[in-house]
């Protein structure tokens, strides 16, 4: 399941996801003639993901990506995620 906002609402993306067997939970744009169905309960879960990313971005080193290597950045990201989840 892919949960996204209206910016990702396109027929090409929906077809690509359907070909992979992924359900698209994307609200339709208001100018859509035949809007596809939307699962509002699944779309509400997007808020949890957005809040988690906001908590992670409070850590300056992660938000600006001070670490140049992918390994160190991933280690810092795991550390920050563990700390914010614990608190």
- Whole-structure pTM over 0.85, yes or no? no
Residues 29, 49 within the same domain: no
Residues 49, 32 within the same domain: no
Q: Average pLDDT of 45-61? A: 83
Residues 50, 83 within the same domain: yes
Q: Mean pLDDT across the chain, nearest whole number? A: 86
Alpha carbon distance 83, 81 (integer Å) = 5
The yes-or-no verdict on residue 76 having pLDDT over 90 is no
Predicted local confidence at residue 13, as pLDDT: 93
Count of domains observed in the chain: 2
| Residue 85, domain extent | 45-87
Residues 31, 4 within the same domain: yes
Residues 14, 52 within the same domain: no
CA angle 63, 81, 25 (to 5 degrees): 85
Instruction: Kindly list the distances between the CA atom of residue 87 and the CA atoms of 15, 24, 44, 51, 83, in Å, as whole numbers in the listed order.
Output: 40, 32, 23, 14, 6
Query: How large a percentage of the chain has pLDDT more than 70?
Result: 99
Residues 25, 60 within the same domain: no
Query: Which carries the bigger pLDDT value, residue 8 or residue 60?
Result: 8
């Amino acid at each position: 399941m892919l949960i996204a906002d209206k910016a990702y609402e396109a027929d090409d993306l929906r077809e690509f996801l359907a070909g992979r067997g992924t359900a698209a939970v994307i609200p339709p744009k208001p100018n859509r003639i035949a809007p596809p169905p939307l699962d509002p309960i699944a779309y509400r879960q997007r808020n949890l993901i957005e809040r988690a990313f906001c908590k992670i971005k409070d850590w300056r080193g992660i938000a600006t990506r001070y670490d140049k290597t992918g390994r160190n950045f991933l280690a810092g990201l795991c550390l920050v995620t563990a700390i914010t989840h614990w608190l």
